[in-house]
Amino acid sequence: MKTTDKIRQQLAENPIVLYMKGTPGEPRCGFSAKAAAALQSTGVEFAYVDVLAAPLFMQALPEVSDFPTFPQLFINGEIIGGSDIIEAMLASGELLPMLKSATG
């Protein structure tokens, strides 16, 4: 199975996925830390992939998402964006309803 197929499978199996550097408990870059903290503040469960531990995913993900940087948040298989977008959506009140409807 190609790496892009594995990514698509993860996206199909998990309604909310954060591809990040590190883990939510131990982020390895500031942007990933902000994204994970924003998601954790909602109380909604999400899956994550540490792209530093999975370098093939790090290389292949931009091919799937057409989004060049990390972290990358996907909801229902659709790219939402990185930490700035996640934080803005949290602040505007858009993020929580989107997360809740995904996990419905």
Q: What is the per-residue pLDDT across 13-55, written as a single tens digit (0 to 9) for each?
A: 999 999 999 999 999 999 999 999 999 999 999 999 999 999 9
Q: Can you tell me the distance from the alpha carbon of 48 to that of 99, in angstroms, rounded to the nearest whole number?
A: 14
Question: What per-residue confidence (pLDDT) applies to 102?
Answer: 96
Cα separation, 72 vs 61, in Å, equals: 9
What average pLDDT score do residues 47-68 get?
95
SS3 18: strand
Q: Any idea which fold 3-103 has?
A: Glutaredoxin (3.40.30)
What pLDDT score does 55 carry?
A: 94
CB 16 within 8 A of CB 40: no
Domain ranges of the chain: 3-103
Q: Which residue has 């500031």 as its token pair? A: 30
Q: Residue 44 annotated as binding?
A: no
pLDDT at residue 104, rounded to an integer: 81
Pull the structure tokens for residue 76: 């229902």
